Amino acid sequence: MNQYDTICGPATAIGGAVAVIRIAGPDAIAIGNRIWHGREPLSRECARKMLLGRAGGDHVLAVCMPAPASYTGDDVVEIHCHGGAAAARSVLRTALEAGCRMAEPGEFTCRAFLNGKLDLVKAEAVAEIVAARSDTALRLAERQLAGALSRELQDLRTALVEILAECESHLDFPDEELDWEPDLAAGLDRPIALTERLSASAHAGSVLRDGIRVVIAGRPNVGKSSLMNRLLGYDRAIVTAIPGTTRDTLEEPLTLADIPIRLTDTAGVRDGGDHIEQIGIERSRQTMATAEVIFLVLDASAPAPAAEWAAWQQDPRMLVIWNKIDLVPDRVLPELPVPSVRLSTLTGENLTALADAFRQLVWGSSDWSEPELAVNSRHAAELAVIGQLLPEAAGSLRREEWEVAAIPLRSAIAAVDRITGENADPDLLERIFSRFCIGK
Ligand SMILES: Nc1nc2c(ncn2[C@@H]2O[C@H](COP(=O)(O)OP(=O)(O)OP(=O)(O)O)[C@@H](O)[C@H]2O)c(=O)[nH]1
Ligand SMILES: [Mg+2]
């Protein structure tokens, strides 16, 4: 990514009513004027005004956002043309012919980062807003973009820098009677607590960003595929009264209890069946092995489950679903050592109980409230490093070993800087921004 090129890319998904082509870089306005023609040329004087004109043979709107008051921090021109692949491509082609280079994935946001418009944590939030699959994940990403996490990290950094400065003045002026902080180690209590709090948010961050893998398992004919269809809200899986209907695993994304999940329906596990069914059953077992949550469906109208399920009942990933209670509404069901719900996928009765039990299983509590912020795995890895370094530094400070204490303090500050992208190395930037979509 060369920062001095003028780049272009589609800022909207192709296929909508309107497509936005974004041009950014030192020649953006000149190139904009080469491909767009209106009553007056694009210039600083018409900043942030929508102007009607023509480009690539189409009637389009153009808006000019001169540096530094633009998303990327350099000159930006956006052309709003008719949506649809051909119309957008035509404008894009003329921009390329007029001297632009096609933007790499995430290159606009990368420029915003390099121009100091946002730190790395905020840049990541931009991608997360685009990728958010639940309202909670979206709000989390919006707060991160607004600076909720950046502020905490800034606080952490400031506290560490102050302690390091004190530590270094002990080294520089060992014999002077300065106004020394009496208990420097205690000054690390708050940074340590903050690091722990941020680290603890990683689980929520991973659940809300990456979602979790949920598998529907059980014997044939208990209603696994019916449950899949009910949760999806449409008939995705084939449902019949014949045991062994589902032969292969079937995966779909959805949101349950505001948690993004990948839900997999599996072939009912039983002995016998033909060769194809046995391959399907082997897949079911493999899918279950890697699942984070297992919905074990049992038929409430059938005799108590066979002993083979007993082992599964010890599994902390398990949520037992007694299905078909419409057939036996008054039946007293056996107590189980794992959470269980009773419902009917046929009538939809009690499905909300499943969402509640699922929320409880994932968050470990029924009164889970949305976190203010949640770190991602990259942040968590650095926070783990900081979490080790700070107690080490505190120990040295208590022993008044200033020189020794300064080493972990410096390393911890460097780790905070890696999170926010201060002095970030190009490989890291490449890794992060390549996950963005083109035009973002
Ligand atoms: N009465 C009643 N019938 C149900 C309910 N859920 C599913 N069924 C019926 O049970 C039969 C089996 O349903 P499926 O969803 O195909 O069961 P499955 O567990 O996917 O079965 P396999 O794919 O063979 O493993 C069908 O005839 C469904 O209509 C329920 O809640 N109540
Ligand atoms: Mg099925």
Q: What does the pLDDT average to over 390-419?
A: 95
Q: What's the pTM? A: 0.80
Strand partners, 81: 19
Residues 346 and 383 in one domain: no
In a domain, 97, yes or no: yes
Q: Is the CB of 323 under 6 A from ligand 1?
A: yes
Residues 140 and 106 in one domain: no
Q: What pLDDT, on the 0 to 100 scale, is given for residue 121?
A: 95
Torsional class of 176: left (φ above 0), alpha (ψ -120 to 50), beta (otherwise): beta
Locus of tokens 């014997």: 219
Of all ligands present, the nearest one to the C-alpha of 217 is 1
Q: What does the pLDDT average to over 390-408?
A: 94
Q: Is the CB of 327 under 6 A from ligand 1?
A: yes
Q: What pLDDT, on the 0 to 100 scale, is given for residue 427?
A: 85
Residues 63 and 196 in one domain: no
| Beta strands per DSSP E along 371-421 | none
Could you tell me what percent of the chain has a pLDDT over 70?
95
Nearest atom, ligand 1, residue 220 CA:
25
Q: Determine contact, residues 23/32, Cβ cutoff 8 Å.
A: yes
Cβ neighbours of 252 (radius 10 Å): 16
The enclosing domain of 349 has a CATH number of 3.40.50.300
Q: Is the CB of 243 under 6 A from ligand 1?
A: yes
Is residue 303 very low, low, confident or very high in pLDDT (cuts 50, 70, 90)?
confident
In a domain, 305, yes or no: yes
C-alpha 240 – ligand 1 centre gap (Å): 7
C-alpha 345 – ligand 1 centre gap (Å): 8
Could you tell me what percent of the chain has a pLDDT over 90?
66
Q: Kindly compute the dihedral angle of the four CA atoms of residues 150, 365, 228, 314, in this order, to the nearest 10 degrees.
A: 120
Q: What pLDDT, on the 0 to 100 scale, is given for residue 379?
A: 96
- For 150, residues 6+ apart whose C-beta sits below 8 A from its C-beta are 119, 121, 122, 144, 420
Residues 233 and 355 in one domain: yes
Residues 231 and 338 in one domain: yes
Counting the structural domains of the chain, the total is 3
C-alpha 238 – ligand 2 centre gap (Å): 7
Res 87 pLDDT > 90? no
Q: Is the CB of 220 under 6 A from ligand 1?
A: yes
Distance CA(369)–CA(39), nearest Å, equals: 54
Of all ligands present, the nearest one to the C-alpha of 223 is 1
Residue identifier of the C-alpha nearest atom 9 of ligand 1? 223
Q: Which two tokens stand for residue 44?
A: 């600083």
Q: 3-state DSSP call for residue 294?
A: strand
In a domain, 428, yes or no: no
Nearest atom, ligand 1, residue 268 CA:
25
Range of the domain at 412: 133-201+375-421
Torsional class of 417: left (φ above 0), alpha (ψ -120 to 50), beta (otherwise): alpha
Residues 108 and 176 in one domain: no
The enclosing domain of 412 has a CATH number of 1.20.120.430
Q: Is the CB of 25 under 6 A from ligand 1?
A: no
Q: What share of the chain is helix, strand, coil (3-state, %, to 5)?
A: 45, 15, 40
Q: Is the CB of 226 under 6 A from ligand 1?
A: yes
Residue identifier of the C-alpha nearest atom 6 of ligand 1? 223
C-alpha 337 – ligand 1 centre gap (Å): 25
Chain-centroid distance of CA 413 in Å reads: 25
Report how far apart, in Å, the C-alpha atoms of 62 and of each of 7, 32, 47, 73, 316 are.
16, 8, 10, 18, 57
Residues 323 and 381 in one domain: no
More confident residue, 222 or 366: 222
For the residues of 344-364, what is the DSSP string, one character each?
-TTT-TTHHHHHHHHHHHHHS
In a domain, 270, yes or no: yes
The enclosing domain of 48 has a CATH number of 3.30.1360.120
Ion ligand 2: residues, CB < 5 A: 224-225, 245-246
For the residues of 6-19, what is the DSSP string, one character each?
-EEEE-S-TTSSEE
Q: What pLDDT, on the 0 to 100 scale, is given for residue 13?
A: 80
Residues 147 and 104 in one domain: no
**152-199: per-residue pLDDT in tens?**
999 999 999 999 999 888 887 766 666 667 788 899 999 999 999 999
Residue identifier of the C-alpha nearest atom 30 of ligand 1? 324
C-alpha 332 – ligand 1 centre gap (Å): 21
In a domain, 431, yes or no: no
Residue identifier of the C-alpha nearest atom 32 of ligand 1? 324
Q: 3-state DSSP call for residue 296?
A: strand
In a domain, 124, yes or no: no
C-alpha 244 – ligand 1 centre gap (Å): 11
Of all ligands present, the nearest one to the C-alpha of 277 is 1
